[in-house]
Structure 1
Amino acid sequence: MKISRPADVPTSEHPLLNDGVQHVIEVLQRLRFGVIQLTVHDGKLMQVDVTERRRFGN
């Protein structure tokens, strides 16, 4: 999955690309199996919990 921001909009000026959302994008790019849980308060991303699942063959 490739997620990117518009090249002409700096991260600091883009309302959706704060540090938390940027972290979610980075986790999505490297996570193979697992869960990403977002905690939102008053419409703002407050916490990101990542649970990665690792599966081992027999």
Structure 2
Amino acid sequence: MTEGKDDRTGRQAQFAESDPLHLVREALAQIRFGGIQLTVHQGKLVQMEVTEKHRFV
């Protein structure tokens, strides 16, 4: 992937330049309850899904 505009948000897409482990660490630091699912293809991290749960008990 190269740097370019993201059509949906107008933000710069910088996935190729960013460190995937840094993004995982950021997600772990921000989430209180939930899960992080990593998708790997041919030994490379290609996707991260963060599901956060809000508990009202």
TM-score (norm 2): 0.63
- Where has structure 1 moved over 2 Å in runs of 4 or more? none
**Identical aligned residues as a percent:** 55
Alpha carbon RMSD of aligned pairs, Å? 1.2
> Taking CA–CA contacts closer than 8 Å with sequence separation of 6 or more, which of the two structures ends up with the larger relative contact order?
1
In structure 2, stretches of 5+ residues that fail to align are 1-17
* Count of paired positions: 40
5+ unaligned residues in a row in structure 1: which ranges?
1-17
More helix by share: 1
TM-score by length of structure 1 reads 0.62
